[in-house]
């Protein structure tokens, strides 16, 4: 082949081409994003969230959810729509196909929602359009804690200074604050004093809105100076707010302090965030959750946030401490480091095996140099096809080591065989490369033809194996290029005939010769027993098919991610205080395990109410148990989880269970099997739902069979007097 002949005659050409692969490969290696799994593994999701305070779920569904659903249903690329109407909030998740661009989908939904924005109730907040991926989880939780500050001051400081600071970090997509108790002015109206002063709550609200304003008053112009007039009617402290006038009589002005108690307090007292460590328990804490942008590198973002925390800690007031409470990049980085170790071990084993079989240290140099050149050059393929460095890509490189080394070994063996027959290294390289070139090209095409069709697999499995197929195919092509250029050039320079055989190689050759003789004798014994071999193969195939039916089947095996979650809830309609009490009982039990000697725990994080759909339900909570690094503990996450399960599930009047989070899930904490029930009315849905649940619960292999449609929440129905009159007349 022409390129091979040029490489042998002009060694500089082969070196330059290899150096180009190495330099550009190293350059793009540092530019590639590093994440746990391939991008696009989860379908893009656009969430439409609308708050309608004090409205019941039925009103939210009728006035908001259904109207928005009707207008967004025709958007391009929608896979399915999941909507939920809760008391005070409508949430609609629109799941798109994985080939849809998330930004384009969000713009389309935003434009469609704007069409019905004017038809929504005036008291409802404007719909929020949020971009995310299914299973969208925080990359990090940062804890702001203090032994001396109260939670109001902590929340106020975090909101004023820290949220903007973290938002400015590149690759940050969204900031979520847990346990934030925003500082506000609380006005507690006494209904008796209100009635005594002949006032209504609407008049008080109107006065608060109208009095606390700044309005322009114009300017004063003189011959040599212009002055701006400012009518300052704002109230800057509690005392001035107390004197806000509500009503004026002939001899008295009724102020706010006459009918209400005014004080500083949180906007909502129904939120709790706690981060407990072995040496620091029960500190006042505010959590800052940081989400990565779509396509951003998890590890890179983690490093940027760590640098930002170091900078912010230098300027924090006394008594405050900012630290990482949870970092998803820890698992990602550790997993990728383990893959790198596997790559190095595989490389060493390949080199040792080549040396044992060839018996010539110089012959090992050729594939030993060609292998890293091929691997480094393969990163160019990742960059060209807009891929990332993730576990599946690196695992494909481990698989590729044996494949891409094969080309160089074949080339080296063809050249070395001719040298052993007496040819000079230059002539042997020229003739040997011509002899083997067609075989290398044919092998490359066959391997690419085997792996490349994997990119046509659809669904989550297709997304996983697409990057594997591309990385493998590109590395095979690069290895063939290296085998046809660098390997013959190195062979012509380094290979020579070796007369003496190393002691270890000699021992290996003797052992291999003995094995070959054993194999030959065994083969001669069985070669004529065709009927026996045929029956054995048939039985082996039958046994494989039979055992396949009993083998556990899953997309990704259970992982030790160094953490587990406790998802809990109390009875529907339970108060925040009641749920908080139950959550703290469970937390206290796990805290004892945290503080025990040789404890595998590192930190506990608790939030009431929970995340996601549970964020507006005060009867839910979540506890995140973070474990020590893998090298510092002997027990796996599953073992620790089983030890804690008895402490979790035994709390009375509380439904709580621990789960081990996995890397792939369709959406946050959803169950693996789900179904949708259709009906013409909620009454019909409830009837069908009861029948389905009854049948499913007869199957003992299923547990935690639940429905997201419940009517168990206690409520008080108010019937106006004129409706009662109409009912009495009808009766």
Query: Rounded to an integer, what distance in angstroms lies between the CA atom of residue 728 and that of residue 199?
Result: 33
Q: Do residues 37 and 297 lie in contact, with contact meaning Cβ atoms separated by under 8 Å?
A: no
Q: Which helix (H) or strand (E) holds 292?
A: strand 284-292
Q: Do residues 22 and 377 lie in contact, with contact meaning Cβ atoms separated by under 8 Å?
A: yes
Query: Rounded to an integer, what distance in angstroms lies between the CA atom of residue 607 and that of residue 623?
Result: 7
Query: Rounded to an integer, what distance in angstroms lies between the CA atom of residue 578 and that of residue 585?
Result: 11
Which architecture, in CATH terms, is 2-32+334-548? Up-down Bundle (1.20)
Q: Which helix (H) or strand (E) holds 683?
A: helix 682-696
Length in residues, the chain? 731
Kindly tell me if the per-residue pLDDT of 614 is higher than 60. no
pLDDT at 176: 80
Q: Which two three-digit tokens encode residue 121?
A: 């109730």
What band does 234 get if pLDDT is binned at 50, 70 and 90? Answer: low
Pairing mode of beta strands 601-608, 620-627: antiparallel
Residues 106-160 have pLDDT tens digits of 889 999 998 888 888 888 888 988 876 544 467 788 888 888 888 788 888 888 8
What band does 295 get if pLDDT is binned at 50, 70 and 90? Answer: low
Q: Which two three-digit tokens encode residue 392?
A: 């599946």
Q: Which residues are paired to 569 by β-bridges?
A: 620, 655
pLDDT at 524: 87
Residue 555 CB neighbour total at 10 angstroms: 11
More confident residue, 558 or 246: 246
- N-term to C-term CA, the chain: 101
Residues 322-368 have pLDDT tens digits of 888 888 888 888 877 887 888 788 888 878 887 887 777 777 888 88
pLDDT at 669: 46
More confident residue, 174 or 438: 438
More confident residue, 98 or 551: 551
Kindly tell me if the per-residue pLDDT of 505 is higher than 50. yes
Kindly tell me if the per-residue pLDDT of 731 is higher than 60. no
What average pLDDT does the chain have? Answer: 82
What is the Cα 177 distance to its own chain's centre?
Answer: 18
Residues 464-476 have pLDDT tens digits of 788 888 888 888 8
Kindly tell me if the per-residue pLDDT of 712 is higher than 70. no
Kindly tell me if the per-residue pLDDT of 282 is higher than 80. no
Sheet holding 140-146, edge to edge: 172-178, 284-292, 140-146, 321-327
Query: Rounded to an integer, what distance in angstroms lies between the CA atom of residue 721 and that of residue 730?
Result: 14
pLDDT at 543: 93
Which DSSP string corresponds to 459-524?
Answer: HHHHHHHHHHHHHHHHHHHHHHHHHHHHHHHHHHHH-----S--HHHHHHHHHHHHHHHHHHHHHH
Q: What is the pTM of this model?
A: 0.72
Give percent of the chain above pLDDT 90: 4
pLDDT at 486: 85
Of 41-45, 246-250, 609-613, 641-645, the poorest mean pLDDT is in 609-613
Using CA atoms, how far residue 687 sits from 98, 572, 604, 712, in Å, is 35, 20, 42, 15
Return the ∠ at Cα 301 (arms to 299 and 302), rounded to 5°.
65
Topology at the third CATH level for domain 563-670: Alpha-Beta Plaits (3.30.70)
- The residue among 113, 100, 91 whose CA lies nearest residue 44 is 100
- 3-state SS of 17-82 is HHHHHHHHHHHHHHHCCECCCCCCCCCEEEEEEEECCCCCHHHHHHHHHHHHHHHHCCCCCEEEEE
Using CA atoms, how far residue 516 sits from 509, 522, 523, 553, in Å, is 10, 10, 10, 39
Pairing mode of beta strands 563-569, 172-178: unpaired
- Identical topology for domains 43-133 and 563-670: yes
Of 177-186, 470-479, 524-533, 580-589, the poorest mean pLDDT is in 177-186
Pairing mode of beta strands 44-51, 89-96: antiparallel
pLDDT at 668: 45
Residue ranges of domains in the chain:
2-32+334-548, 43-133, 185-266, 563-670, 673-731
Kindly tell me if the per-residue pLDDT of 715 is higher than 50. yes
Q: Which residues are paired to 93 by β-bridges?
A: 47, 82
Kindly tell me if the per-residue pLDDT of 542 is higher than 80. yes
- The residue among 268, 307, 372 whose CA lies nearest residue 142 is 307
pLDDT at 323: 86
For residues 625-644, one letter each, b for 16 or more C-beta atoms within 10 angstroms of the residue's C-beta and e for the rest, the string is bbbeebeebeebbeebbeeb
What band does 667 get if pLDDT is binned at 50, 70 and 90? Answer: very low
* Residue with the two structure tokens 């148990």: 625
Using CA atoms, how far residue 389 sits from 89, 382, 559, in Å, is 39, 8, 20
Contacts 24+ apart (CB under 8 A), 603-606: 603/275, 603/276, 603/277, 603/325, 603/326, 604/274, 604/275, 604/276, 605/141, 605/143, 605/273, 605/274, 605/275, 605/276, 605/287, 605/325, 605/326, 606/272, 606/273, 606/274, 606/276
Q: Do residues 181 and 273 lie in contact, with contact meaning Cβ atoms separated by under 8 Å?
A: no
* Residue with the two structure tokens 């599930």: 649
As assigned by CATH, the class of the 185-266 domain is: alpha beta
Q: Which residues are paired to 214 by β-bridges?
A: 232
pLDDT at 247: 84
Query: Rounded to an integer, what distance in angstroms lies between the CA atom of residue 571 and that of residue 589?
Result: 21
pLDDT at 538: 94
What band does 493 get if pLDDT is binned at 50, 70 and 90? Answer: confident
Q: What is the dihedral of CA 625, 626, 631, 634, to 10 degrees?
A: -10
- The residue among 261, 267, 265, 262 whose CA lies nearest residue 192 is 261
Q: What is the dihedral of CA 639, 641, 647, 648, to 10 degrees?
A: -160
* Residue with the two structure tokens 């999701």: 45
pLDDT at 398: 82
Determine the average pLDDT of the residues in 393-399: 83
CATH of domain 43-133: 3.30.70.1430
Residues 424-448 have pLDDT tens digits of 888 888 888 888 888 888 888 998 8
What band does 693 get if pLDDT is binned at 50, 70 and 90? Answer: confident
Three-class DSSP category at 14: helix
Give percent of the chain above pLDDT 70: 90
Three-class DSSP category at 602: strand
């Amino acid at each position: 082949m022409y390129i091979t002949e040029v490489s042998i005659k002009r060694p500089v050409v082969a070196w330059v081409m290899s150096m180009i692969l190495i330099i550009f490969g190293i350059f793009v290696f540092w530019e590639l994003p590093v994440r746990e799994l391939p991008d696009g593994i989860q379908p893009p999701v656009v969430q439409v969230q609308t708050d309608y305070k004090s409205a019941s779920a039925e009103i939210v569904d009728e006035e908001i959810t259904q109207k928005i659903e009707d207008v967004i249903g025709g958007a391009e690329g929608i896979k399915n729509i999941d909507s939920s109407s809760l008391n005070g909030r409508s949430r609609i998740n629109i799941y798109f196909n994985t080939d849809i661009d998330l930004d384009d989908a969000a713009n389309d939904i935003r434009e469609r929602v704007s069409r019905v924005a004017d038809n929504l109730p005036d008291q409802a907040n404007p719909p929020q359009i949020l971009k995310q991926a299914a299973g969208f989880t925080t990359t990090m939780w940062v804890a702001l804690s203090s032994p001396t500050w109260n939670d109001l001051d902590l929340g106020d400081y975090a909101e004023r200074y820290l949220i903007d600071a973290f938002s400015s970090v590149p690759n940050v997509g969204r900031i979520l604050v847990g346990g934030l108790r925003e500082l506000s002015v609380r006005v507690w109206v006494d209904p008796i004093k209100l009635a005594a002063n002949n006032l209504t709550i609407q008049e008080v609200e109107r006065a608060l809105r109208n009095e606390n304003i700044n309005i322009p008053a114009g300017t004063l112009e003189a011959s040599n100076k212009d002055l701006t007039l400012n009518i300052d009617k704002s109230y800057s402290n509690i005392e001035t707010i107390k004197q806000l006038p509500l009503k004026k009589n002939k001899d008295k002005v009724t102020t706010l302090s006459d009918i209400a108690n005014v004080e500083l307090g949180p906007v909502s007292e129904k939120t709790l965030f706690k981060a407990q460590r072995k040496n620091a328990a029960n500190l006042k804490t505010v959590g800052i959750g940081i989400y990565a942008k779509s396509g951003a590198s998890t590890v890179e973002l983690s490093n940027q946030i760590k640098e930002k925390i170091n900078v912010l800690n230098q300027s924090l007031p006394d008594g405050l401490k900012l630290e990482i409470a949870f970092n998803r990049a820890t698992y990602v980085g550790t997993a990728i480091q383990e893959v790198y170790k596997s790559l190095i071990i595989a490389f060493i084993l390949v080199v040792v095996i080549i040396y044992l079989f060839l018996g010539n240290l110089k012959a090992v140099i050729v594939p030993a140099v060609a292998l890293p050149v091929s691997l480094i050059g393969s990163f160019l393929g990742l960059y060209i096809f807009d891929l990332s460095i993730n576990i599946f890509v690196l695992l494909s490189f481990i698989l590729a080591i044996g494949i891409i080394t094969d080309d160089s070994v074949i080339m080296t063996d063809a050249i070395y065989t001719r040298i052993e027959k007496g040819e000079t290294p230059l002539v042997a390289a020229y003739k040997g490369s011509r002899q083997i070139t067609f075989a290398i090209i044919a092998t490359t095409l066959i391997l690419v033809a085997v792996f490349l069709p994997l990119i046509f697999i659809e669904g989550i499995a297709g997304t996983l194996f697409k990057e594997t197929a591309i990385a493998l195919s590109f590395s095979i092509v690069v290895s063939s290029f290296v085998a046809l250029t660098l390997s013959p050039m190195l062979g012509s320079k380094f290979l020579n005939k070796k007369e003496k055989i190393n002691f270890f190689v000699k021992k290996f050759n003797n052992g291999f010769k003995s094995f070959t003789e054993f194999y030959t004798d065994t083969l001669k014994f069985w070669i004529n027993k065709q009927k026996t071999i045929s029956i054995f193969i048939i039985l082996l195939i039958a046994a494989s098919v039979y055992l396949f039916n009993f083998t556990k089947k899953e997309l990704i095996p259970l992982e030790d991610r160094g953490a587990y979650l406790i998802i809990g809830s109390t009875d529907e309609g339970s108060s925040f205080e009641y749920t908080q009490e139950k959550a703290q009982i469970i937390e206290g039990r796990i805290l004892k395990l945290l503080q025990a000697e040789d404890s595998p725990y590192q930190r506990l994080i608790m939030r009431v109410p929970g995340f996601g759909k549970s964020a507006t339900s005060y009867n839910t909570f979540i506890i995140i148990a973070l474990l020590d690094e893998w090298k510092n503990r002997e027990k796996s996450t599953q073992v620790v989880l089983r030890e804690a399960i008895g402490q979790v599930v035994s709390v009375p009047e509380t439904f709580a269970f621990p789960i081990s989070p996995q890397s792939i899930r369709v959406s946050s904490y959803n169950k693996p099997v789900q179904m949708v029930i259709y009906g013409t009315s909620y009454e019909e849905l409830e009837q069908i739902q009861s029948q389905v649940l009854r049948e499913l619960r007869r199957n003992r292999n299923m547990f935690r069979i639940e429905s997201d449609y419940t009517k168990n929440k206690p409520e008080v129905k108010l019937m106006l007097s004129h409706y009662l009159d109409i009912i009495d007349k009808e009766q």
